[in-house]
């Protein structure tokens, strides 16, 4: 439909608890929104409140409303993972039936030794860890030795950290490209993503260079809603790490990851000034990377409130032919044990297509189906059912 636009903002990790299979993931009791609010004595998010965020779960300071400013509901993930890639792929119609390999004891010796041979540097770390904690532990050793810091998480990821004052950024990228070929490009899929994690700084003040992070992922194993939207002649604009998540498939324009969520909102607003029709797909990663994994409820609350203050600008930028969807890809409860994602339902807030409740959606693919319905694109054989009225 010429002139129609759909905008999806994924508030990365902002779950709403009560996933029916949370126990299978060891995540009973996790609820990012509710527990964050409780930890800080209540949230102040009046704009999200008006859209119905408080209807999705009990949030101190954000009560439910009888007259939401749009559609509201929840989505339950079907994929056998609580990972960024799995959540985004499922939104676009690809469901991971089997979990990808993870490495709770670190990577096998044959993988590590080959990586060392092919890159010409040694490896330190090689264990599951928080990205910030492992820097505090090993950054000075890296400065002295020049070795790679290798770590993983509960997700299927091979993460390589390098101090750009010690190892040039381009060398880090080249090493991760070699790891991608080893672990993904030779037939057997050994990880979901290889992630280049550059940083700089000194003890107690290390700063990860989020704008220079690069993900090298697996290619989507089939057609996605992105492909169908592109094939129908629409622009598909990716903001932040969306392009990396889909390995560029179905993306017509990419806006590199700005340094923080506020800058990503700016990028979306700037895109809407010129985009005539199509799909804008953005990931706001700070909820997850800066606050969820670091178990920082105060920071998480501040980021929710900061986004809430930007919401009126986004709403003002919409025309009558625009659809705005706010959701998340998984949970990352900053009050929960550990440092990893949490299995949760995710909130669903929709502006531009009426008001009311759309219920608990059985699968994230309903989002992609709804975007296609709005843009007049056939769903084809992909899973999902539109939650839009009519």
User: Is 329 known to sit in a ligand binding site?
Assistant: yes
- The answer to the question of whether 341 is labelled as a binding residue is yes
Which two tokens mark 371?
Answer: 């975007």
8 A C-beta contact, residue 87 and residue 375: no
Helix (H) or strand (E) holding 136: helix 131-145
State the DSSP H helix or E strand holding residue 174, giving kind and residue range, or none if neither: helix 169-183
Tokens at 334, concatenated: 């900053």
Which tokens in the block code for residue 37? 């609010």
200 is in an annotated binding site: no
DSSP secondary structure string for all residues of 45-109:
-HHHHHHTHHHHS-BTTB---SS-SSEEEEEE--SS--SHHHHHHHHTT---SSPPP--TT---H
Answer yes or no: is 293 a known binding residue: yes
**Residues listed for the chain:** 390
Residue appearing with tokens 């330190």: 124
Burial of 338 (0-12, 13-18, 19+ CB in 10 A): middle
Long-range contacts of 211-216 (CB under 8 A, 24+ apart): 211/256, 211/257, 211/258, 211/259, 212/164, 212/169, 213/241, 213/257, 214/173, 214/176, 214/244, 215/241, 215/244, 215/245, 216/176, 216/177, 216/179, 216/180, 216/184, 216/244
Contact partners, residue 34, CB within 8 Å, separation at least 6? 16, 17, 57, 58, 59, 60
State yes or no: 21 annotated in a binding site: no
3-state secondary structure of 24: helix
Nearest to 343 by CA among 89, 11, 23, 10: 23
CA neighbor of 218 nearest in space, from 155, 151, 274, 267: 155
Was 254 annotated as part of a binding site? no
Q: How far apart are CA 215 and CA 353, in angstroms?
A: 34
Q: Give the contacts of 281 (CB within 8 A, at least 6 positions apart).
A: 8, 10, 226, 236, 237, 238, 239, 242
Output the known binding site for Mn(2+): 12, 288, 293, 329-330, 341
Output the known binding site: 12, 288, 293, 329-330, 341
């Amino acid at each position: 439909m010429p002139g129609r636009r759909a905008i999806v903002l994924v508030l990365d990790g902002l779950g709403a608890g009560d996933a029916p299979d949370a126990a299978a993931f060891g995540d009973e009791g996790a609820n990012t929104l509710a527990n964050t609010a409780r930890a800080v004595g209540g949230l102040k998010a009046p704009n999200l409140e008006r859209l119905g965020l408080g209807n999705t779960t009990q949030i101190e300071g954000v009560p439910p409303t009888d007259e939401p400013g749009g559609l509201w509901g929840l989505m339950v993930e079907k994929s056998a993972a609580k990972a960024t890639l799995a959540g985004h792929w499922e939104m676009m119609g690809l469901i991971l039936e089997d979990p990808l390999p993870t490495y709770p004891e670190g990577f096998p010796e044959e993988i590590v030794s080959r990586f060392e041979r092919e890159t010409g540097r040694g490896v330190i770390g090689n264990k599951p860890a928080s990205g910030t904690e492992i820097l505090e532990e090993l950054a000075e050793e890296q400065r002295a030795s020049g070795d790679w810091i290798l770590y993983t998480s509960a997700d299927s990821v091979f993460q390589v950290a390098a101090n750009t004052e010690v190892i040039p950024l381009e060398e880090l990228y080249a090493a991760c490209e070699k790891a991608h070929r080893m672990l993904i490009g030779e037939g057997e899929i050994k990880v979901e993503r290889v992630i280049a994690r550059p940083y700089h700084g000194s003890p107690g003040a290390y700063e990860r260079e989020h704008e220079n992070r690069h993900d090298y992922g697996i290619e989507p194993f089939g057609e996605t809603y992105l492909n169908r939207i592109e094939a129908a002649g629409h622009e598909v604009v990716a903001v932040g790490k969306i392009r990396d998540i889909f390995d560029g498939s179905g993306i017509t324009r990419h806006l590199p990851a700005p340094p923080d969520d506020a800058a990503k909102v700016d990028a979306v607003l700037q895109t809407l000034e010129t985009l005539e029709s199509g799909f804008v797909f953005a990931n706001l990663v700070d909820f997850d990377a800066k606050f969820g994994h670091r178990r920082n409820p105060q920071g998480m609350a501040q980021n929710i409130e900061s986004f809430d203050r930007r919401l009126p600008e986004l709403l003002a930028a919409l025309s009558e032919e625009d659809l705005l969807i706010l959701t998340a890809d998984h949970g990352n409860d900053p009050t929960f044990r550990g440092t990893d994602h949490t299995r949760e339902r995710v909130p669903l807030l929709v502006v531009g297509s009426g008001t009311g409740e759309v219920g608990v959606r059985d699968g994230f693919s309903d989002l992609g189906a709804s975007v296609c319905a709005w843009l007049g694109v056939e769903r084809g054989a992909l899973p999902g059912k539109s939650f839009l009225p009519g």
